[in-house]
Amino acid sequence: MSALVPDDIVKNLEDLPSLPAVVMELLSSIDQEGVDISVLAKKVSHDQALTAKTLRLANSSLYGLQVKVTTIQQAITFLGFQTTRNLITAAAVTGCFAEGQCPGFDDKAFWRHSIATAACAKVLARRMRFNQDYAFTAGLLHDIGRLVLVSSYPALYQQVLAYRDTNDCPVLEAERAVLGVDHVVAGVALAEHWNFSDTMKMAIQQHHDPEAPGAGFLATIIHVANSIVHALDLAREENDLVPAVSSVAWTALGLNEEAYLHVFRETELQFEEITTILMG
């Protein structure tokens, strides 16, 4: 077959499932001042499934609220606009792609990995005094390009998985060998299509290469979180493989063993709870 080029991915994006209109609006307004919150809250409220999922996240122990929030507006009051927006995004994205399109691709394992990375990135971010909401969302979406490839090219992606199994290599390598493009390129294309912020795009683009100039600290956090989650075996994939940890990224975080043991524990606790909510 002839290799794909990034433009092929972009052409196919139109055929992909779209996020609810209000979520697109939330994402595109990410850097805007003076967004009318009450209007957005009202719009989200019209989507009952989305609202329910978002509120379950808001009421989870992740945020330690002492009151139970029952409306989006309340969630914004107690958690702030940033956090609530990220919860809405998480709730929307995890329900957005159809499952079972590509035999051999384990959608559940994919989301388990993504949610665990989100949890771990959030835990790391708190330790590093970095924006936890950014870390959570970037962790959740760092591999979203894989779903783009699976949805757009299910038959080819089956070959990718077969190549990976035969050669026992990282999935990134298998994608490049079979498709000519990888999930990083596809993820960035989707991030642009869905109007993600530049920070988020950069994190998706550089999570395998956090040493690149200008990659940013978020990419470093996602890179390390990704490896931790593989090492903790949270996706429970038989042939899972821990990708090499960049020593530059590891050094940049500068955490000692005691800190990491806490990070592991907190990640596992949060992971279980979020998984129940997002995949339940």
Partner 1 sequence: MSAAYQHLALVDVRPGMILSDVLLDQQGQVLLPQGAVLTAATIALLPRHGVEMLPIARTDGEQHVQEAAIDASAVDARQAQLFRKNDADNQNDWATGILRRYVLDYRLGRSIEE
Backbone angle region of 254, left / alpha / beta, with phi > 0 → left and psi within -120 to 50 → alpha? left
Q: What φ, ψ does residue 199 adopt, rounded to 5°?
A: -60, -45
Q: Under rule CB under 8 A, which residues in 166-195 are in contact with partner 1? A: 168, 170
Stretch of 37-45, 48-56, 186-194, 235-243 lying at the interface with partner 1 (CB under 8 A): 235-243
The DSSP H or E segment spanning 145 is: helix 144-152
Question: By CB under 8 A, is residue 242 in contact with partner 1?
Answer: yes
Whole-angstrom distance, CA of residue 248 vs CA of residue 238: 29
Query: 92: buried, middle or exposed (CB in 10 Å: 19+, 13-18, 0-12)?
Result: buried
For partner 1, which residue of 13, 35, 156, 245 counts as binding (CB under 8 A)? 245
For partner 1, which residue of 167, 261, 276, 279 counts as binding (CB under 8 A)? 261
Question: By CB under 8 A, is residue 230 in contact with partner 1?
Answer: yes
Question: By CB under 8 A, is residue 130 in contact with partner 1?
Answer: no
Q: Do residues 263 and 255 make contact, with C-beta atoms less than 8 angstroms apart? A: yes
For partner 1, which residue of 5, 21, 231, 279 counts as binding (CB under 8 A)? 231
Q: Do residues 136 and 118 make contact, with C-beta atoms less than 8 angstroms apart? A: yes
Decide whether 199 or 226 has the Cβ nearer to partner 1.
Answer: 226
Q: Under rule CB under 8 A, which residues in 62-81 are in contact with partner 1? A: 62-66
Binding site for partner 1 (CB under 8 A): 61-66, 168, 170, 227-228, 230-233, 240-247, 249-251, 257, 260-262, 264-266, 269-270, 273
